[in-house]
């Protein structure tokens, strides 16, 4: 079943077209990789689908419902969750309270049920220091908070925006295992990532963006051999 | 002694206070309650991250709504206080659709401008409001009995404290704290930002309207200049800053400390007490930026921590 389908979405910032007639889809239980050089429009695509930015043209369908004009908090309640490339923790809350925000509002749970759900998520993420304040957390823990808050809203579609950046390889493996567990729960996941090892390990299909357009799509092996993709990443001369 | 006992003792003192204190001290405490309630309401809005300068606006609006219902319609003063609150709430609900789209300095300045606009409108509707000269009532509420007014304001202040604690202990706390920390994260986590801002804006405006209505009924007098006075904005802010923002205890402590100090200073330095008063605020804000309540609480916690670590060795 198709969880997400975009139909020719366009985003213009003044004269600049950041996303140009983009159409792609993600199925239930699929992990889609979105790659591309810096400035290709990857994060903008997440912002458009999560509703943080309005689209200039085109339509977004989530579980066959048109969500193009829905407010971001409504989309989250419907089941679209995302993490942020630079972590955006709520600094006056503890770790577990940060995760709770997702279950309290994304799922509309009450305080008690919301906390219990957040604790389950913390366990799934192998997160120990749930009562620590934000400023005492490590980079990995902050990334887990980011994922945890998204997961606590019990999404059907999850965007992970460069969650592996800044982690060492042991930590990356830990997160890869967690994402695989989520896939088994039949979640549709979009991974925006610069670390090719992660894309290779996790994704079944990859979409390559350049200047807001898809220049290649397909399984990782095919896409990584594509000359146009290599040119976009490394420059024409290679 | 735990905090529950302290609260019960303070409550008991507040309840019997008029029985052994003279009217002067009853009046001092009544005024403290007025500013305490305003200070808490201002802090509740600040918890959403919005610095409102509109406290005096809704205070004045409530005062005038109450005055007009008593003077022109001849309604019961107690009922007119309810009208004062509802009217302030209604106007804040309508204005909320415009001002709550604004953020930071733009929100603050607009709420300050609203105060002036209300005052000008009231001044120009002289048939209804008495114009620039204001309007005087035939008699104050409860015929000016300070004890009854004290109990009315004590009751209202307790209700405001109750609302503040309800904010702290419910989902509202999670919503408004998230909005203050990071609005984009809040939106992306399913929080209806505008709905919560409007809820808090309307509730705090109702509180300000009710307190303004009581104030008008207590002094049997409304006048644009003094009813929309910036004292009803600046003193509550000073109290919350001195006591400690984002809490219920902070504004309470701040209101009592500044309220008592200002009365005392008036007695010992009749001319110039405001200079000393201002100095105290500046010193507290400079040396205890998180307010007296959190600074003292933090000190007590670290002292306990040290004692415990000594016990271990």
Answer whether B174 sits within 8 Å of A100, measured CB to CB. yes
The stretch B181-186 carries a mean pLDDT of: 93
The whole-number pLDDT of residue B290 equals: 82
* Residue B230 touches chain A, beta carbons under 8 Å: no
Whole-angstrom distance, CA of residue A82 vs CA of residue A80: 7
% chain B with pLDDT above 70: 96
Contact B189 A76 (CB under 8 A): yes
Test the A interface: residue of B189, B192, B294, B298 with most A CBs within 10 Å: B189
What is the average per-residue pLDDT within A107-114? Answer: 90
Measure the CA–CA gap between B19 and A110, rounded to whole angstroms. Answer: 44
Joined tokens for residue B170: 């419910």
Determine which of A50, A102, A105 to mutate to test the interface with B (most B C-beta atoms within 10 Å).
A105
A46 versus B21: the higher-pLDDT residue is A46
CB distance B188–A108 less than 8 Å?
Answer: no
Which stretch of DSSP H or E encloses residue B29?
helix B23-46
pLDDT at B312 over 70: no
- Cβ–Cβ below 8 Å for A92 and B185: no
Q: In what order do the strands lie in the sheet with A80-82?
A: A80-82, A157-161, A188-192, A31-35, A205-210, A213-218
Mean pLDDT of B5-30: 87
From B217's Cα to the closest Cα of chain A, the distance in A is: 41
**What's the gap in Å between the CA of B186 and the closest CA on chain A?**
8
Residue A237 has pLDDT above 60, yes or no: no
B191 at interface of A, judged by CB pairs closer than 8 A: yes
Q: Residue B115's pLDDT is what?
A: 93
Within 134-193 of A, beta carbons closer than 8 Å to B belong to: 149-150, 153
Q: Within an 8 Å CB–CB cutoff, is residue A234 touching chain B?
A: no
Chain A residue whose CA is closest to B195: A73
Model pLDDT, residue A39: 83
Report the range out of A5-19, B46-60, B128-142 with the highest average pLDDT.
B46-60
Q: What is the DSSP string of B255-274?
A: HHHHHHHHHHHHHH-TTTHH
The chain-wide mean pLDDT, for chain B, equals 88
The alpha-carbon gap from B117 to the nearest alpha carbon of chain A, in Å, equals: 33
Cβ contact, residue pair A92, B180, below 8 Å: yes
3-state SS class at B221: strand
Name the residue in chain B with its Cα closest to that of A106.
B190
CB contact under 8 A, B185 and A105: no
Instruction: Provide the residue count of chain B.
Output: 313
Residues of B in contact with A88 (CB under 8 A): 182, 184-185
ipTM, interface predicted TM-score of the complex:
0.89
Kindly state the percentage of chain B with pLDDT values over 90.
52
How far is CA B78 from its chain centroid? 20
> DSSP label at B73?
T
H helices of B100-192, in order, are 104-124, 126-129, 146-169, 171-181, 183-188
What confidence score (pLDDT) does residue A234 get? 64
Domains (ranges, CATH) in chain B?
19-261 (1.10.3470.10)
3-class secondary-structure state, position B222: strand
Burial (CB < 10 A; 0-12, 13-18, 19+), residue A7, is: middle
In angstroms, the CA A122 to CA A102 distance is 12
Q: Coil, helix or strand for B254? A: helix
Residues of A in contact with B175 (CB under 8 A): 104-105
Which of A47, A50, A73 would best serve as a mutation to test chain B binding (most B beta carbons within 10 A)? A73
The secondary structure of chain A, three-state, reads CEEEEEEEEEEEECCEEEEEEECCEEECCCEEEEECCCCCCHHHHHHHHHCCCCCCEEEEEECCEECCCCCHHHHHHHCEEECCCCCCCCCCCEHHHHHHHHHHHHCCCCHHHHHHHHHHHHHHCCCCCCCCEHHHCCHHHHHHHHHHHHHHCCCCEEEEECCCCCCCHHHHHHHHHHHHHHHHCCCEEEEECCCHHHHHHHCCEEEEEECCEEEEEECHHHHHHCHHHHHHHHCCCC
DSSP label of B51:
-
Assess contact for A194 and A162: CB atoms under 8 A.
Answer: yes
The tokens of B17 are what?
Answer: 């206070």
- DSSP symbol at B2: -
Q: Which residue of A has its CA nearest to B174?
A: A101
The reply to whether residue A73 touches residue B178, judged by beta carbons under 8 angstroms, is no
Contact A88 B174 (CB under 8 A): no
With an 8 Å Cβ cutoff, are A93 and B185 in contact?
A: no
Q: Cα–Cα distance between B277 and B97 in angstroms, integer?
A: 37
CA distance to A99, A154, B47, B176, B183, per residue, from B194 (Å): 22, 23, 14, 10, 10
Assign B95 a pLDDT band (cuts: 50, 70, 90).
very high
Compute CA B92 distance to the chain's CA centroid, rounded to the nearest angstrom: 16
Q: Is the pLDDT of residue B309 over 70?
A: no
Contacts of A91 in chain B (CB under 8 A): 181
- Tell me: pLDDT of B101 over 50: yes
Of B201, B210, B211, the C-alpha closest to B255 is B211
CB atoms within 10 A of CB B221: 18
CATH 3.40.50.300 location in chain A? 1-79+156-238
- CB A92 to CB B193 under 8 A? no
Q: Is A59 left (phi over 0), alpha (psi -120 to 50) or beta?
A: beta
Assigned CATH for A1-79+156-238: 3.40.50.300
The upper half-sphere exposure of residue A210, i.e. CA atoms within 13 Å in the direction of its Cβ, equals 12
Report the residue from B175, B177, B190 with minimal CB separation from A106: B190
pLDDT per position as a tens digit, B118-167: 999 998 888 878 777 777 787 777 777 888 899 999 999 999 999 999 99
Cα B253 from Cα A84, distance rounded (Å): 40
Residue among A186, A233, A189, A151 nearest A33 (CA): A189
Please tell me the pTM assigned to this model: 0.90
Residues of A whose CB is below 8 A from B193? 73
Q: Chain A closest CA to B250's CA: distance in Å?
A: 17
Put simply, whether B39 touches A (Cβ < 8 Å) is no
- Other CB atoms within 10 Å distance of the CB of residue B237: 23
Distance of CA B41 to the CA centre of its chain: 5
B301 against B217, higher pLDDT: B217
Which of A45-54, B71-80, B149-158 bottoms out in mean pLDDT, i.e. has the lowest?
Answer: B71-80
């Amino acid at each position: 079943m198709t969880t997400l389908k975009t139909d020719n979405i366009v985003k213009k910032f003044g004269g600049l077209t950041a996303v140009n007639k983009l159409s792609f889809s993600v199925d239930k239980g699929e992990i889609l990789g979105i790659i591309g050089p810096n400035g290709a429009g990857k994060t903008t695509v997440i912002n458009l689908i999560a509703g943080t930015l309005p689209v200039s043209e085109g339509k977004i369908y989530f579980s066959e419902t048109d969500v193009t004009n829905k407010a971001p908090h409504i989309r989250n309640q419907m089941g679209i969750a995302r993490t942020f490339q630079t972590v955006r923790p709520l600094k006056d809350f503890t770790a577990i309270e940060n995760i709770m925000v997702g279950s309290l509002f994304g799922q509309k749970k009450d305080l008690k049920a919301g906390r219990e759900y957040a604790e389950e998520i913390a366990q799934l993420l192998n997160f120990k220091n749930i009562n620590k304040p934000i400023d005492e957390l490590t980079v990995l823990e902050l990334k887990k908070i980011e994922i945890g808050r998204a997961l606590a809203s019990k999404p059907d579609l999850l965007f992970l925006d460069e969650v592996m950046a800044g982690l060492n390889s042991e930590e990356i493996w830990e997160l890869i295992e967690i994402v695989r567990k989520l896939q088994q729960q039949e979640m549709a996941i979009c991974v925006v990532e610069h670390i090719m090892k992660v894309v290779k390990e996790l994704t079944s299909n990859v979409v390559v963006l350049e200047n807001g357009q898809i220049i290649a799509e397909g399984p990782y092996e095919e896409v990584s051999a594509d000359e146009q993709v290599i040119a976009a990443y490394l420059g024409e001369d290679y | 002694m735990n905090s529950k006992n302290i609260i019960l003792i303070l409550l008991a003192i507040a309840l019997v206070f008029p029985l052994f204190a003279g009217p002067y001290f009853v009046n001092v405490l009544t005024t403290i309650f007025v500013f305490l309630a305003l200070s808490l309401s201002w802090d509740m809005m600040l918890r959403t991250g919005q610095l409102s300068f509109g406290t005096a606006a809704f205070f004045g609006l409530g005062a005038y709504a109450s005055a007009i219902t008593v003077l022109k319609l001849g309604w019961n003063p107690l009922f007119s206080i309810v009208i004062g609150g509802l009217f302030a709430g209604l106007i804040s609900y309508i204005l909320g659709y415009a001002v709550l789209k604004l953020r930071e300095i733009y929100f603050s300045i607009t709420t300050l401008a609203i105060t002036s606009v209300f005052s000008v409108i009231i001044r120009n509707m002289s048939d209804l409001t008495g114009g620039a000269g204001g309007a005087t009532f035939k008699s104050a509420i409860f015929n000016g009995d300070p004890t009854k007014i004290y109990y009315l304001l004590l009751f209202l202040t307790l209700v405001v404290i109750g609302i503040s604690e309800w904010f702290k202990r419910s989902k509202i706390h999670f919503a408004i704290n998230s909005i203050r920390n990071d609005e984009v994260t809040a939106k992306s986590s399913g929080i209806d930002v505008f709905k919560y801002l409007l809820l808090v804006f309307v509730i705090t405006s109702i509180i300000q309207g009710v307190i303004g209505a009581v104030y008008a009924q207590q002094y049997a007098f409304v006048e644009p200049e003094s009813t929309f006075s910036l004292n009803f904005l600046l003193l509550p802010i000073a109290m919350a800053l001195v006591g400690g923002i984002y809490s219920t205890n902070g504004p309470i402590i701040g209101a009592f400390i500044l309220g008592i100090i200002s009365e005392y200073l008036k007695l010992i330095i009749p001319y110039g007490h405001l200079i000393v008063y201002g100095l105290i605020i500046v010193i507290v804000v400079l040396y205890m930026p998180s307010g007296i309540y959190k600074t003292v609480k933090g000190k007590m916690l670290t002292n306990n921590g040290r004692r415990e670590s000594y016990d271990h060795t």
